């Protein structure tokens, strides 16, 4: 007996249903502004996703209905112009179409000789240009900067200790890694996952602009060397997650060259600002990094997920990840031809076609237009900062270096202030009008607005500001009567 394959029984019918789904998604994207940014998930709906695994299939039409009724209205909202929480990219309709095509093709980008791998290599060539890396540089797509950072640690480790640490694992080494106190948690996680222990991270104090203090860094390195530690890596931030501060990357590069340390840059948030001739000078020194991790899925507006690791000396990336395997033998002709398979440059074997949505986004908009959306985001962030400075009841908590604004509704008493601002954030989110997140700056819980979305306009910031002022007044603890 033969079972039918999984293709449609009637392609005509399937085609109509598929087109209808696409139309509904486009209509959703067009009308984002009329929808709440985010809304709480009803209990019954959540319970619907605790059902038994389906034994028999449903029609595509029924699934589309469920998707638009149950998934779309209750997603996190980062495509919406009022979303300023955390650091999320918005995506674009172009990116969506590219993702659809990539899934249709279902290419595996672990290696072999096919154009999808060439598309990924095209992005490597472009990335070299954007960041002023040499021809020796290699790179691969990753799920995000978190994985790219872990990979950079592995490359730096192999570059420093060579084959012995790859074969034996950590032995007697006492590695030390340096980053500012504002560094993203993904570095801490990477050091943990790399088996070095989180305690090998030395956090270095920052200056008034939240940038790493270079003198403090050099002192820490010297002190560690005297104590018998082995400094091997410095991580600079091209935009810290809390405040968007950009470390003095040129200064860090010089320090790393003098101290013979691996210089890694976390560019998740800001590196792609090099697409803007106005913003690019902020990143000066990035071209001297040994490795650079960044995300197309944040400010680059490519749909999730699309992170990237670029390594200056490609040979080091190869040495950190390549392993011979008979079933992956390379041929000079045929499907198994081609050198530099992406699987030699990272931990994954099977890999999706993230390159296509990135390539199409770049081809459709061009770096100039994408760079302009970043300039606009920085402009809006500065405007928001100015509006905050004009309100007595608000306090801006950090300089606006890029596209992030940290502020709080003033309130006497530290605990009261933290609770008040926490409450403002949550109630604002639940209102569906705007989403901001919170973080801690100068010891205080603060509201944090990150303008990453290309759809965000001045009117969205006004909604946010009016909302904060109204809620702040409503929730402020009553002043005791005089
Ligand atoms: C988002 C972010 C990361 C982590 O990147 P993912 O793509 O979420 O893994 C690292 N560093 C900074 C500064 C970030 O903003």
Return the best residue to mutate from 184, 243, 452 for the ligand 1 pocket (most ligand atoms within 8 A of CB). 184
Judgement on whether residues 212 and 170 belong to the same structural domain of the protein: yes
Question: What separation in Å is there between the alpha carbon of 294 and the centre of ligand 1?
Answer: 8
Residue 429 placed within a domain: yes
Percent of the chain with pLDDT over 70: 99
Judgement on whether residues 227 and 307 belong to the same structural domain of the protein: yes
Percent of the chain with pLDDT over 90: 93
Which atom of ligand 1 has the smallest separation from the CA of 237?
A: 13
- Cα separations in angstroms, 333 against 91, 112, 185, 329, 337: 38, 10, 45, 12, 5
Instruction: Please tell me the distance from the alpha carbon of residue 454 to that of residue 301, in angstroms, as a whole number.
Output: 8
Judgement on whether residues 139 and 246 belong to the same structural domain of the protein: yes
Please tell me the predicted confidence (pLDDT) of residue 325: 79
Residue 362 placed within a domain: no
Q: How many CB atoms lie within 10 A of CB 202?
A: 18
Judgement on whether residues 212 and 336 belong to the same structural domain of the protein: yes
User: Using CA positions, which residue lies closest to atom 7 of ligand 1?
Assistant: 144
478 or 18, which is more confident: 18
Instruction: Please tell me the distance from the alpha carbon of residue 346 to that of residue 115, in angstroms, as a whole number.
Output: 20
Q: How confident is the model at residue 482 (pLDDT cuts 50, 70, 90)?
A: very low
- Cα separations in angstroms, 103 against 96, 120, 141, 303: 11, 16, 16, 13
User: Using CA positions, which residue lies closest to atom 12 of ligand 1?
Assistant: 268
Indicate the SS3 state at residue 53: coil
Q: How confident is the model at residue 479 (pLDDT cuts 50, 70, 90)?
A: low
420, 475 contact by CB (below 8 A): yes
Q: Is the pLDDT of residue 477 over 90?
A: no
Question: What separation in Å is there between the alpha carbon of 472 and the centre of ligand 1?
Answer: 30
Q: Is the pLDDT of residue 141 over 50?
A: yes
Which atom of ligand 1 has the smallest separation from the CA of 266?
A: 11
Q: How many domains does the chain have?
A: 3
Please tell me the predicted confidence (pLDDT) of residue 480: 55
Residue 167 placed within a domain: yes
Question: What separation in Å is there between the alpha carbon of 147 and the centre of ligand 1?
Answer: 9
Judgement on whether residues 161 and 244 belong to the same structural domain of the protein: yes
Instruction: Please tell me the distance from the alpha carbon of residue 207 to that of residue 215, in angstroms, as a whole number.
Output: 11
- Report the CATH number that the domain containing residue 400 is assigned in CATH: 3.90.1150.170
Judgement on whether residues 244 and 344 belong to the same structural domain of the protein: yes
Domain finish residue from 49, 74, 99: 74
Q: Is the pLDDT of residue 481 over 60?
A: no
Q: Of the spans 339-343, 372-376, 477-481, which averages the highest pLDDT?
A: 372-376
pTM for the model stands at: 0.96
Q: Tell me the per-residue pLDDT of 235-286, one tens digit each, with 9 for 90 and over.
A: 999 999 999 999 999 999 999 999 999 999 999 999 999 999 999 999 999 9
Question: What separation in Å is there between the alpha carbon of 125 and the centre of ligand 1?
Answer: 23
Residue 446 placed within a domain: yes
Question: What separation in Å is there between the alpha carbon of 146 and the centre of ligand 1?
Answer: 6
Question: What separation in Å is there between the alpha carbon of 118 and the centre of ligand 1?
Answer: 26
Judgement on whether residues 67 and 213 belong to the same structural domain of the protein: no
Q: Which two tokens stand for residue 270?
A: 């800001």
CA triple 201-273-131, angle to 5 deg: 75
Q: How far apart are the first and last CA of the chain?
A: 90
- Report the CATH number that the domain containing residue 289 is assigned in CATH: 3.40.640.10
Q: Tell me the per-residue pLDDT of 443-464, one tens digit each, with 9 for 90 and over.
A: 999 999 999 999 999 999 999 9
Q: Tell me the per-residue pLDDT of 331-370, one tens digit each, with 9 for 90 and over.
A: 888 888 887 899 999 999 999 999 999 999 999 999 999 9
Please tell me the predicted confidence (pLDDT) of residue 375: 98
Judgement on whether residues 116 and 208 belong to the same structural domain of the protein: yes
Residue 97 placed within a domain: no
Judgement on whether residues 251 and 384 belong to the same structural domain of the protein: no
CA triple 420-426-430, angle to 5 deg: 140
Pocket of ligand 1 (CB under 6 A): 87, 144-146, 184, 186, 237, 239, 241, 266, 268-269, 295, 307
User: The tokens 């109204």 sit on which residue?
Assistant: 470
Residue 210 sits in which domain range? 108-352
Instruction: Please tell me the distance from the alpha carbon of residue 201 to that of residue 377, in angstroms, as a whole number.
Output: 32
Judgement on whether residues 16 and 158 belong to the same structural domain of the protein: no
Mean pLDDT of 406-421: 96
Residue 359 placed within a domain: no
Question: What separation in Å is there between the alpha carbon of 85 and the centre of ligand 1?
Answer: 14
Return the best residue to mutate from 186, 187, 245, 297 for the ligand 1 pocket (most ligand atoms within 8 A of CB). 186
Judgement on whether residues 348 and 393 belong to the same structural domain of the protein: no
Mean pLDDT of 36-62: 97
User: Using CA positions, which residue lies closest to atom 2 of ligand 1?
Assistant: 268
Residue 388 placed within a domain: yes
Residue 360 placed within a domain: no
Judgement on whether residues 61 and 114 belong to the same structural domain of the protein: no
């Amino acid at each position: 007996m033969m079972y039918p394959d999984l293709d449609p029984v009637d392609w005509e019918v399937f085609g109509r249903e598929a087109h209808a789904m696409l139309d509904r998604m486009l209509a959703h994207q067009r009308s984002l502004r009329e929808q709440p940014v985010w809304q709480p998930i009803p209990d019954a709906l959540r319970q619907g996703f605790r059902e038994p695994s389906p034994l028999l299939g449903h029609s595509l039409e029924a699934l589309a209905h469920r998707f638009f009724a149950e998934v779309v209205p209750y997603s996190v909202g980062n495509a919406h112009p009022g979303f300023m929480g955390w650091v999320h990219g918005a995506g674009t309709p172009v990116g969506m179409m590219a993702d659809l095509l990539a899934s249709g093709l279902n290419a595996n980008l672990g290696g072999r000789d096919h154009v999808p791998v060439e598309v990924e290599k095209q992005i490597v060539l472009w990335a070299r240009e954007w960041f002023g890396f040499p021809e020796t540089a290699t790179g691969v797509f990753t799920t995000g900067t978190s994985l790219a950072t872990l990979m950079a640690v592995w490359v730096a480790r192999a570059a420093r200790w060579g084959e012995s640490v790859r074969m034996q694992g950590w032995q007697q080494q006492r590695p030390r890694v340096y980053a500012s106190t504002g560094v993203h948690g993904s570095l801490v996680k990477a050091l943990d996952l790399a088996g070095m222990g989180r305690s090998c991270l030395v956090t270095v104090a920052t200056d008034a602009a939240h940038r790493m203090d270079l003198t403090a860094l050099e002192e820490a390195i010297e002190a560690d060397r005297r104590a018998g530690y082995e400094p091997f890596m410095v991580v600079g931030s091209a935009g810290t997650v809390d405040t968007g501060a950009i470390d003095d990357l040129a200064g860090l590069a010089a320090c790393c060259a003098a101290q013979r340390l691996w210089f890694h840059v976390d560019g998740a948030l800001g590196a792609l600002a090099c697409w803007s001739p106005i913003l690019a000078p902020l990143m000066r020194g990035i071209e001297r990094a040994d490795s650079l991790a960044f995300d197309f899925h944040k400010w680059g507006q490519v749909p999730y997920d699309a992170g990237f690791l670029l390594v200056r000396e490609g040979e080091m990336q190869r040495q950190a990840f390549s392993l011979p395997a008979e079933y992956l033998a390379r041929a000079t002709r045929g499907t198994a031809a081609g050198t530099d398979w992406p699987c030699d440059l990272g931990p994954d074997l099977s890999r999706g076609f993230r390159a296509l949505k990135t390539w199409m986004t770049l081809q459709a908009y061009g770096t100039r237009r994408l760079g302009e959306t970043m300039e606009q985001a920085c402009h809006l962030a500065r405007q928001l900062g100015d509006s905050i400075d004009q309100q007595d009841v608000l306090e801006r908590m950090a300089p606006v270096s890029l596209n992030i604004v940290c502020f709080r509704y003033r309130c006497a008493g530290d605990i009261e202030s933290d609770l008040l601002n926490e409450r403002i954030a949550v109630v604002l989110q639940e209102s569906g009008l705007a989403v901001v997140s919170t973080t801690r700056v100068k010891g205080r819980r603060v509201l944090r607005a990150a303008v990453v979305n290309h759809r965000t306009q001045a009117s969205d910031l006004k909604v946010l500001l009016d909302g904060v002022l109204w809620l702040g007044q409503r929730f402020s603890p009553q002043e005791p009567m005089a």
